[in-house]
Structure 1
Amino acid sequence: MKVKLKVKIIVAFSALLITTVLVIFLYTQKQAFDGINQITQDLFSVITKNVSDETITFLNPAVQIAKNFADNPGKLQISLRNNDSIQTHFGAHALNMLKLHSHISGIFVGDIQGRFLFAKQMENGKAGIKVIDPSGELLPKFLNLLEEKGLQDLNIIRDQNTSVIQNSFWKHFDAAGELTEIRVNKDDNYDPRLRPWYQGAQKAQKIFWSDTYIFFTAKKPGITVAEPYFNASGELIGVVGVDIELDRLSVFLEDQKVGRKGLVLIIDREGEVIAFPKINLVKMENDKLRTIQYTELELPYLQKAISTYFETGKNSFSVTENGINYLSAFTTFPAEFGKDWRIVIVVPENDFIGFFSEIQQAIILISLFILSLSIGTAWWLSNNISKPIETITREQKKIGKLELDGEFKLDSAISEVHDLSQGMTAMRNSIKAFQAYIPSELVRQLIERGEGANLGGNERTLTIMFIDIANFTTISENLDPEPLMLQLSDYLGMLAETIRLNHGTVDKYLGDGVMAFWGAPVSSEQHAIHACHAALSCSKGIQEMNQSWELKGKKPFWSRFGIHTGVTLVGNLGSQSRMNYTVVGDSVNLASRLEGVNKIYKTEIIVSSDTRDAAEKEFLFRPLGSVAVKGKQQEVEIYELVESIKQATEDQIQFSGEFMTALSLFQAGNFQGAKKLFTKIGDQYPIDYPTKIYIEKCLEKERS
């Protein structure tokens, strides 16, 4: 399939541009996605490290406090045995630590005798120390000490059901550390040696972390870090513990921003929620408080992410909930931390790629704008290149058809196009100059048929016509050569154009005559009809020219036509260096002879019976009988072409009919009847010479 140059330029330019834009866009998109993924991973790593570091920092003071106390077992034991003073080493140090670390709710110590000290941070900066002495000896000693110190009026609160053995009491201190009251409890069955934190540290023989549980007093989730301490022989003598409330860790997580709607939380290996912002992590069940599981979070996408983590073990993946993609990352705390906790980060994917989508849309719009602008530029550029070439192509096609009328002029700033235009102009002018010597219609038809200039021919049924000017020799003797040539040129030009318009081919000019044929090189079933139309049109054209010439004082050119239809040899005759597309044979000779027969009958257009048979449905013919022509042994029936049936008048039809009847009588031997009818016709048409001829023939037959 042939494609226009303009289309090729636009398509090629657009394809190149689209490919370039697409490659750049895809590369940019890939780089952007890779960058976003890297940024996401880096951000997750930073947040994970922050949470991990902050959690360790959050819990580390408790570890250090426990270690510091455990490193001084002697002072701890003194505090446990001699807690009959207003303030002990343990109490002073513990209360000071509670003031420094608000997330630590309590510091305590218990020994192998079951003695227990518990320092607790209370509201408004107040604090308290609980003392449990299984022997019950410390409380009386402490009350005596108060009297000795002049503090016997200090507020002492006793439980109504306090038993005789009073083994448990609280020392309450104000924000300045001054003792404000004593609360004596009823008999306390609390035994530190039976508590999980004590037993865990005792078993581990090193620092021990408890599981998360609900602190009884604060009603908040927390954990306990416990450190055992030993005597000089390495025997366990007690355990120090520190209680840490985890709600402060949840507050810290709330400040960790991951995108616009991302969440950070901490869970343990069982899926229990350790820390989570803005959510109550405690739930009442069977009249007991407990921590919540991740499955109880009212966030389906978060539940789905954590479930996927436990099911697959993957640390990084995405989940989809309600058509929204969520990026998920899970990181386990370092082994040295001592707790098997996980940091969970879940964030909507759009928080990271949302801005990129906006940039992507902007890039697409800009790319489309640039693409449209570039295609417009390509269209303009292709027009500048292709339009001159299209103009040259159209002119080339016209030259190929030998349509050389008008002028060809093309200006172009492109040198190659300019040179091509100049070459086309030169070729056009050259062909136009030679057109005067070559039958252009013939060449055009040969080109259209794709026939080359090869010697040889073939037989076809054609219609041949000869045209000649009557008495041209006499006319030429009385005219100057130059005016005669100009008048003859106008005459021959009109004949040639009329023949061309009626699908004929001018074979050659014969001085004052013309030879033409129909049916080659382009085959036609109506070649005889076209020839008859051409003859009548030429006749009318000659009449019009003669009228014009006579008005100008010029001699008229009356012409004779001979037409025959028959098998003829047609093709290229001559030599390789010079040849002529022409027709030869008996049919050509007969057409020429018929043109001469007009001299006998003083008629204008005579055709053979073959032509008449091929065109009788379209034209009105008058039979003229048979004549002997040179080169033919038998006489040839001839007819006069009167007019086309559509244009024929009633008078012409009647005249032709009566003449044919009279001729039929003559040919049948009824010479008297024929003479009578011919005489009648002669009276009506006194200038008709064929009628006069047949009247004379009838008289000759009667005399003989």
Structure 2
Amino acid sequence: MMRAPSLRVTILTLFLVLTVPVFLSVFTYSYFTSSKLVRDDTIERIALYQADVDESIENFFREVVSKAESAAIAGSLQADFYLERSAIDYLTSVTLGTPGVLSTYVGLEADGSFLQARRMQTGQRVNDQDLPPGSVFARRWITADGTGTRIDTYAFEDAQGEPLGQLSNVTAYDPRLRMWYEVTRDGGEVTISDPDVFAALGLVGFTVAAPIYWDQELGGIAAIDLTLDSLSAYLARQSVSPASASFILDQRGNVLANSDKAAVFPDSAGALRLPHITEWPDPIVGVAYGQRPRGDENGEPFLLQYDGQDYLASLKPITTVQDKAWQVFVIAPMADFNTEIASNNRRMLMIGIGATILQIFVIWLLAQRIARPLEMLVRDVEQIRDLSPDPLPPLPTVRIREIALLSRAVGTLDTAIRSFASFVPVGLVRQLLQSEQKLEIGGNSRFLTVFFSDIEGFSEQSENLPSRELLMRVSDYLSILTGAVNDEAGTIDKFIGDGVMAFWGAPTLLEDHAKRACLAALRVQIEVKRLGQDLMDRGMDPLNVRIGIHSDAVLVGNIGSADRMSYTVLGDGVNVASRLEAMNKTYGTRICISHTVYREAGEILCTRPIGDVTIKGRRGSVTIYELLGAFEAGAEFEPDEQTLSLALRSRDAYARRAAGDLEEAQVLYRAILEDFPDDGVARAALDQLEDDLASSNRT
């Protein structure tokens, strides 16, 4: 079969067939119409630039307003949140995590308490005192002492967040008397102040404030101070042309941000103020502003001449800022655009006979730019099909709409497949993608290992812990467990509240599925112990996890309906694993495994027998074991001498009990309890032995 031509060759051939016959006519036409095209293109560029500025301002304010509302909501949801000085940590994250923010602060209605996280500038002074050297950030709080005196305290930090010292002074500052507080309190909603000059910094800034309500009563105000520096930087970075100038003006024509980054001017008394656009040092700016069309709400560009040069200017309202009649003003010399076109025309006349060769070269480059992104997209789709953990490499910038749409579609596909793989076993997803088969209901019987876990005392913790701390605990626990299961090639089946069900041996066959499940359980306990120690170091209760593991033949596959299904396991073996997890509560153990698990992986496991127990819904008894460690599987799993001693002594006691020597078993278990007084297994065994001996004596 003949090989199909490449996209590059096809594009080159089509361009040559269609363009060569009309090359001269197109060239002649473009030569005489270039000026009009340049002007139209410039108008379009200015319009797009103004739209981008409008969008950037909208995004800028949306983020800041959202942060202010979030700070207010935090105080509304938890009435005592801002009563603790630790809330400054949250204000610090807002200040440092939001571009352009100078400070984030909260004033409370009840007593005028004040919390603030603010950036510090070189040369700043606080209460007429110099800052500690290297200070770039400060935490501030104002509280009243026992006599009603208000104390204003600053705690300074360096760029790495290390403390540098504190300054405390008596103050009369009361946030409730400040304009930002009064305006927001009276308005009852988010407010954005008019831009003003922060005299200490020489920057244009404003305040966004949001009310905090407790039971429909005003509890305080959360506010953010920020500057328009980032907008000036954006105007300078995204200019229409090299010699263009752009400004953001308020309703009176004062300059709020500009591409020259000149923020403020001194007045006759030396005080800083916002400059008016007509005072700008470049005279063309004031001339253009004076010639703007009056009453033009659409910001249509207009032409003007000054000093023998043509300029294109536009003054367009900004519609995205709440209750602010701001405008974006752009001026661009036509020479920035005409020069390039004139140069191109002269170059095209000079190349003459070589025009066709040049055209072929340019078309080949164009074909390359079109074909290469498509080839990269094919590579990306193959990477998605293979479920590679690596992120998709970025594509080169493409101005072809269809390719850009296709690129976004491939990115969406990647996100969808990765999200799908978060809910469905990765092995199953990879198998489906490679086989190109539809996902259908069905399953088969397979011998595998099932794993259940839950948090000890979770119900009590749910009642006693704050919801945020409870959520963090559960998230840390689930992260530990998910990582351990994934490290041992297991499959997370489902999260059941604080419980987790997982299994090994499907969809990928594993010869050592029981061993892997046990190692995952041990790894979970090691990581949970570290987490618990960290919690205790912070004065909180530790976190304990109980795990049950059982190996059995179960039904595994896609279970559910045509509209909704789940890849899961069903069968008596699943119930046994769940019951084993619950057995930990009875015996005070952490990991309980069945005899089948012991049989499959016992040679590397450090275990001790618990006893024969009856599983609800199952005939006969099941021998269960406590998993204490593993041999030759890593230093972290190796049992210590004390654990080995407990395992050996428990085996001896169990062996005597199984042999019918109840009195000797009783002696051995009592000896274990003397050395391990908190051992629930030995205590339960003694209780059972006492019952057995009493029954034997009665008969």
**TM-score of the pair, normalised by structure 1:** 0.44
**TM-score of the pair, normalised by structure 2:** 0.45
Highest Rg: 1 or 2? Answer: 1
